[in-house]
């Protein structure tokens, strides 16, 4: 598969929410997608920890890229949408940046399952998400 990361970044620049909270696409391969987000005050909750919604959004965005990689690389196989996602928060981050890294556990004709590990820049594992995707036909 020929992966054009600039084309992928251009496509996902239309995701205004991810862009506005500072998510950056770091790397894209067939086997893994890595995105990161610098932790800022806007990402913190009332107890000054990273808000669970910010962590979820980073993981979900990473899943979206990986699950749609075939379609983004011109295979016209249809778009994959999140059907269900389960996240487990493991610990609070003491770092300055969160990193989400995906791997595909199973990719079928219409259903797929991805695991997204979220760590911080200090190496602590912050959360793990399992996402189930469902492929729909392109219009």
Tell me the per-residue pLDDT of 115-135, one tens digit each, with 9 for 90 and over. 999 999 999 999 999 999 999
Give the span between the Cα atoms of 41 and 25, in whole angstroms: 21
Asked whether the predicted pLDDT for residue 90 surpasses 70, the reply is: yes
Asked whether the predicted pLDDT for residue 74 surpasses 90, the reply is: no
Phi and psi at 96, nearest 5°, equal: -110, -10
In the chain, count of helices (H) and strands (E)?
4, 6
Give pLDDT, residue 81.
93
What the chain holds in terms of domains, given with CATH numbers, is 5-136 (3.10.129.10)
Q: How many residues does the chain have?
A: 139
Closest to 63 measured CA to CA, from 77, 43, 79, 39: 79
9 Cβ partners below 8 Å, 6+ apart? Answer: 25
Closest to 81 measured CA to CA, from 7, 20, 138: 138
Give pLDDT, residue 1.
73
Asked whether the predicted pLDDT for residue 24 surpasses 80, the reply is: yes
Give pLDDT, residue 73.
86
Report pTM. 0.94
Asked whether the predicted pLDDT for residue 80 surpasses 90, the reply is: yes
Give pLDDT, residue 72.
86
Across residues 84-104, what is the average pLDDT? 97
Tell me the per-residue pLDDT of 32-47, one tens digit each, with 9 for 90 and over. 999 999 999 989 989 9
Asked whether the predicted pLDDT for residue 137 surpasses 90, the reply is: no
**β partners of residue 10:** none
């Amino acid at each position: 598969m020929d992966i054009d990361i600039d084309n992928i970044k251009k496509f996902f620049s239309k995701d205004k929410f991810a862009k506005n909270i500072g998510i950056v696409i770091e790397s894209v391969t067939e086997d893994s997608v890595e995105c990161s987000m610098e932790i800022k005050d806007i990402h913190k909750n009332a107890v000054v920890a990273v808000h669970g919604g910010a962590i979820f959004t980073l993981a979900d965005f990473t899943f979206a890229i990986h699950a749609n990689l075939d379609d983004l690389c011109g295979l016209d196989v249809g778009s994959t949408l999140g059907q269900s996602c389960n996240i487990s928060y493991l610990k609070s981050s003491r770092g300055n940046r969160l990193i989400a890294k995906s791997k595909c556990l199973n990719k079928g004709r219409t259903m797929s399952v991805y695991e997204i590990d979220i760590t911080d820049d200090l190496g602590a594992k912050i959360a793990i998400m399992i996402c189930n995707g469902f492929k729909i036909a392109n219009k």
